[in-house]
């Protein structure tokens, strides 16, 4: 088996039927790739939500909202608003 932590944790699931030290690497690699795809989808969704929130915050900044109002409406921290303000200043 490889030294992949995820595969090593579930190595007993990949043992062949004869229970010797033989493993079904095809099954293990397929599951590993599926796990990575699922993680990528989750990360993508999170990044998308953050970008959406930044758009809302940018619009509010551009319309003169106070930081405390932005935080209350967008349910974010003042530090996040500051981050968006910094990004706006760079563009």
CB under 8 Å to 4, separation ≥6 — which residues? Answer: 32
**84: containing domain:** 5-90
pLDDT (average), residues 67-80: 95
For the segment 18-67, what is each residue's pLDDT rounded down to a tens digit? 555 555 667 667 777 777 777 877 888 889 999 999 999 999 999 999 99
Structural domain count of the chain: 1
* Distance of alpha carbon 55 from alpha carbon 71, whole angstroms: 14
Q: What pLDDT shows up at residue 1? A: 43
Q: What pLDDT shows up at residue 37? A: 78
Instruction: Tell me, yes or no, if the pTM score tops 0.85.
Output: no
15 or 55, higher pLDDT: 55
Burial (Cβ within 10 Å: 0-12, 13-18, ≥19) of residue 61: middle
């Amino acid at each position: 088996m490889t030294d992949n932590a995820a595969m090593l944790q579930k190595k007993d699931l990949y043992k062949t039927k004869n229970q010797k030290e033989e493993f079904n690497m095809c099954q293990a690699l397929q599951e590993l790739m599926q796990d990575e795809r699922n993680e990528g989808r989750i990360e993508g969704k999170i990044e998308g939500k953050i970008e959406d929130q930044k758009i809302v915050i940018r619009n509010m900044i551009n319309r003169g909202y106070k930081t405390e109002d932005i935080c209350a409406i967008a349910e974010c921290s003042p530090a996040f608003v500051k981050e968006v303000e910094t990004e706006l200043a760079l563009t």
